[in-house]
Amino acid sequence: MRGRILIPLPNTGSMGRKRNNFYMRSIFLLALCIFGLLQYHNFNYLESRDTVLGDAVTNDSDDAILAMVPATLHKYLTPHSRNHSTAAVTGAMGGAPLLLNTSSSGAATATTISFDVYHPPNISEIKRQIVRYNDMQLVLNEDTFGPLQNDSVIIVVQVHTRITYLRHLIVSLAQAQDITKVLLVFSHDYYDEDINDLVQQIDFCKVLQIFYPYSIQTHPHEYPGVDPNDCPRNIKKDQAMIRNCNNALYPDLYGHYREAKFTQTKHHWIWKANRVFNELEVTRFHTGLVLFLEEDHYVAEDFLYLLAMMQKRTKDLCPQCNVLSLGTYLKTFNYYTYHSKIHARVRLVKIDSQSIINDYRKVEVMPWVSSKHNMGFAFNRTTWTNIRRCARHFCTYDDYNWDWSLQHVSQQCLQRKLHAMIIKGPRVFHIGECGVHHKNKNCESNQVISKVQHVLKIARTSHQLFPRSLTLTVPSLSKKTKLRKGNGGWGDLRDHELCLNMTLPTR
């Protein structure tokens, strides 16, 4: 053993192969990690961009909102309240008149400058003003924009008291393409001189104001307001009969008695529609579209462009459609998230870009549903005439909501049911945080207004507005809308009679 010489074995390459396999596996794992990191970074970028945009939306300060509005339109957002200006003057002077010690010769003399203190009009004066406005039927700016054309759109805005939202609606209307061609009708159920000043300041289209003459404001202690002898909402019928209150015989289908603040909205809606289609001199022969908005709506700049395109395409896309709808009550349509997801699909799945553009211009057709299609919807005189013939169904249906009543008319009376064409990407948004059905702590919140402004900004920069054409998409099969009993609040025969009287011919 001592003399044995160790002879090295020949190299078979197995050790080398092991080393090579180890290196290859390491390289593969490293490449896989890098690829994963790149993909993570790619998707994280998309999410971070959406987060940044979302964070921008949360900036709902007055200055931020004002910065999103062209300077020429700031005048519509700047309050000039008669009450506020008076308070500011008297407050600065301690409630006393201002004394200036001046004279023509330079000597000090006491000169009193008297400021007229604003006194809101009383009920009698408000009634006189309402009669005057409704009789005059004055169309503002007609000398600038010319008479109403038969193919022009009439926009009717139902206005109550929420001037802050109304200011933003006016700003959005001012930025719309072809707004100079429309007649903008403001239908008021509350007389307010600050609101009147705001409306009469509009200089971008023809404007007309009409005033619902049977409001709670002008009838605070009598029907259709609150008569002291009206039955309380929750009193039982037998107790109401003993008390002998005015409407004891007519509770609604749930056993409750009328509340004037809820019934007014339905009365106002049918009155304004009849007023526009059948009574105003400037509109009673008009056969074009009438678009219905409310004070807390906000429109996209291409809403009239889309409306005209939808009207043209009804013949081939939906011959049975007699209502066009530009708004939805879905959560505010998330254009910027939608846009980023679409582009992610283009990169990862390599979809044809033309098919992506189609997503921005789709319309659906379906039976008109009150809870979905009652915002920013339009119809013409033919449809109104059919609705008016069914006035008894509208006015006697025990539901204080005008839209549910309209759906009842469609289901129970119209030979040609209400059928709607709806744009999938909404052009009319709801910005009101508070109203008849919604109560929030901050009823003048800027949050929704700011969000809609940013949504439309992203839609504009991503070229989602003003599509060149429309495509029809088939909606998912939905259950047939069942006939249902109303929501109540409309059992009083006085409401039935007033409503029916407002649809009778006056000529």
88 occurs within a structural domain: no
112 occurs within a structural domain: no
Binding site members for substrate: 158-162, 189, 264-268
Note whether 154 and 183 are within 8 A (CB).
Answer: yes
Note whether 195 and 167 are within 8 A (CB).
Answer: no
CA nearest 196: which of 267, 279, 140? Answer: 140
Work out whether strand 290-294 and strand 154-159 pair parallel, antiparallel, or are unpaired: parallel
Note whether 208 and 159 are within 8 A (CB).
Answer: no
Distance CA 208, CA 163 (A): 17
Give the per-residue pLDDT at 476.
Answer: 61
Can you read off the two tokens belonging to residue 261?
A: 């603040």
Q: What is the DSSP string of 390-442?
A: THHHHHHSSBS-HHHHHHHHHHHT-SS--EEEEESS-SEEE--S-SSS---S-
Note whether 257 and 272 are within 8 A (CB).
Answer: no
Give the per-residue pLDDT at 80.
Answer: 79
Binding site members: 158-162, 189, 264-268, 296, 430
The residue with greater pLDDT, 140 or 101, is 140
Which pLDDT band holds residue 5 (cuts at 50, 70, 90)? low
Binding site members for Mn(2+): 296, 430
**Residue 311, domain extent:** 123-501
> Which segment of 31-35, 52-56, 348-352 scores lowest on mean pLDDT?
348-352
Helix axes 14-57, 335-349, angle to 10 degrees: 160
Note whether 226 and 216 are within 8 A (CB).
Answer: yes
Note whether 66 and 74 are within 8 A (CB).
Answer: yes
12 occurs within a structural domain: no
Based on the structure, what is the number of domains in the chain?
A: 1
93 occurs within a structural domain: no
Average pLDDT of span 414-422:
95
Can you read off the two tokens belonging to residue 489?
A: 């609040």
Note whether 395 and 499 are within 8 A (CB).
Answer: yes
100 occurs within a structural domain: no
Instruction: Tell me the per-residue pLDDT of 187-210, one tens digit each, with 9 for 90 and over.
Output: 999 999 999 999 999 999 999 999
The number of CA neighbours under 13 Å toward the Cβ of 190 is: 14
Q: What is the DSSP string of 286-319?
A: --S-EEEEETTEEE-TTHHHHHHHHHHHHHHH-T
309: Cβ–Cβ under 8 A, 6 or more apart, which residues? 467, 469, 470
Distance CA 486, CA 401 (A): 9
Average pLDDT of span 418-442:
77
Give the per-residue pLDDT at 111.
Answer: 43
Residue 365 CB neighbours (<10 A):
18
339 occurs within a structural domain: yes
* Residue 137 belongs to domain with CATH number: 3.90.550.10
427 occurs within a structural domain: yes
Side chain identity, residue 220: P
Give the per-residue pLDDT at 346.
Answer: 38
Please give the mean pLDDT across all residues of the chain: 82
Distance CA 400, CA 414 (A): 20
Instruction: Tell me the per-residue pLDDT of 111-137, one tens digit each, with 9 for 90 and over.
Output: 444 456 778 899 999 999 999 999 999
Q: Which strand (E) or helix (H) includes residue 198? A: helix 193-200
Instruction: Tell me the per-residue pLDDT of 453-475, one tens digit each, with 9 for 90 and over.
Output: 888 888 888 888 999 999 898 77
Instruction: Tell me the per-residue pLDDT of 221-280, one tens digit each, with 9 for 90 and over.
Output: 999 999 999 999 999 999 999 999 999 999 999 999 999 999 999 999 999 999 999 999
Instruction: Tell me the per-residue pLDDT of 308-331, one tens digit each, with 9 for 90 and over.
Output: 999 999 999 999 999 999 987 645
Distance CA 393, CA 490 (A): 12
Q: What is the largest CA-CA distance in the chain?
A: 140
Note whether 121 and 150 are within 8 A (CB).
Answer: no
Give the per-residue pLDDT at 214.
Answer: 98
254 occurs within a structural domain: yes
Give the per-residue pLDDT at 357.
Answer: 42
